[in-house]
Amino acid sequence: MTAVQVEVVRVFTDPDGRFGNPLGIIDGTAVPPADRQRVAAELGFSETVYVDDAATGTIRIFSATGEMAFAGHPTVGVAWWLHSQGVDTPVLRVPAGDIQVTRDGDLVAVRADSTWGSPWDWRQLDSPDAVLAADPAS
C-alpha cells in the first residue's frame, strides 16, 4: 500500500492547547476497508477515524484491536477537524447511528445515545498501589 496522509489532532486539550488525546484522521478513500484495521494498529493511536464522506459526516472508527460502532473522543475530534476544514456537517454518521454535532466558536460538542458506549464498571480502590495491582480483566 502507498503512503497515506494522516491528520493528527489532540482532543480534550487544556485551555492553552496542551495535553489532549491524539487522534488519527484519514480520508476513507485512501485506505480500502479491508486494510483499515491494520493501518489503525500500525499508527498506534487509541482511535483512528476514516472519513468516508465529509459532506454527510459518514465516518468509521477503529482502535488498535477492532472497529468501534461509536466512541466519544474520536467523534468530538473529527467534528472539530471537519469544521476546521470548512465542513460544517450537523451530523456524524457512525455504524451505531447518527450523532448530533453542535458548535460554539471553536468549541464542538456531540450528542449520542449513551447506550452506544462500551460497558464499564466503577470500582473504588483504597490506594495507588491497589490501582497498580488491579487486574483489568477481573
Q: Which long-range contacts (CB under 8 A, 24 or more apart) does 37-44 make?
A: 37/62, 37/66, 37/67, 39/1, 39/4, 40/64, 41/65, 43/6
Listing DSSP states for 30-72 in one string gives GS-GGGHHHHHHHH--S-EEEEEETTTTEEEEE-SS-EES--H
Q: Which pLDDT value is given to residue 1?
A: 59
Q: Along the chain (138 residues), what's the average pLDDT of each consecutive run of 10 residues?
A: 89 90 96 96 96 97 94 95 94 97 91 84 88 82
Give me the count of residues in the chain: 138
Q: What is the pLDDT of residue 105?
A: 86
Report, as residue numbers or ranges, the catalytic residues.
47
Q: Of the candidates 24, 17, 131, which has an alpha carbon nearest to the alpha carbon of residue 71?
A: 24
Spacing of C-alpha 1 from chain mean position: 24
pLDDT at 119: 74
User: pLDDT at position 107, please?
Assistant: 87
Q: For residue 128, give the DSSP letter.
A: H
Domains of the chain: 7-133 (3.10.310.10)
Furthest-apart CA pair in the chain: how many Å? 50
| pTM, two decimal places | 0.84
Beta strands at 21-27 and 48-53: parallel, antiparallel or unpaired: parallel
